[in-house]
Amino acid sequence: MLYLATPSGDDVRAAMRAGLLACMTTPAQGNVIPPGCLYASDNGKFGKGWPGEQAWFAWLKATLDRYGPDRCDGWTS
């Protein structure tokens, strides 16, 4: 099991590239997932980032297309 974190600094991104952490991302973050890192996607529904159902699925598909489903460790709602 990996801890999911936002890619918020050089040390965190290095730990992600080393496989020590995975990346959590949301539609509102706009973060780039570091190369080769596992990631999970949160829809932001319980915060201020919920984009709505259609926008969420469009963003999720774009994220899967960009980073690949093999690196996706899951999603939350």
Q: What is the DSSP string of 15-32?
A: HHHTTSEEEEE-TTT-PP
Q: Which are the contacts of 34, defined by CB distance < 8 A and separation ≥ 6?
A: 7, 13, 16, 17, 23
Task: Give the pLDDT confidence score for residue 46 in this predicted structure.
Answer: 86
12 is written with which tokens?
Answer: 């965190």
Task: Give the pLDDT confidence score for residue 13 in this predicted structure.
Answer: 94
Q: What is the pTM of this model?
A: 0.83
Domain ranges of the chain: 3-76
Task: Give the pLDDT confidence score for residue 76 in this predicted structure.
Answer: 58
Task: Give the pLDDT confidence score for residue 47 in this predicted structure.
Answer: 81
- What digits encode the pLDDT tens for the residues 16-58? 999 999 999 888 888 889 999 999 998 888 888 788 999 999 9
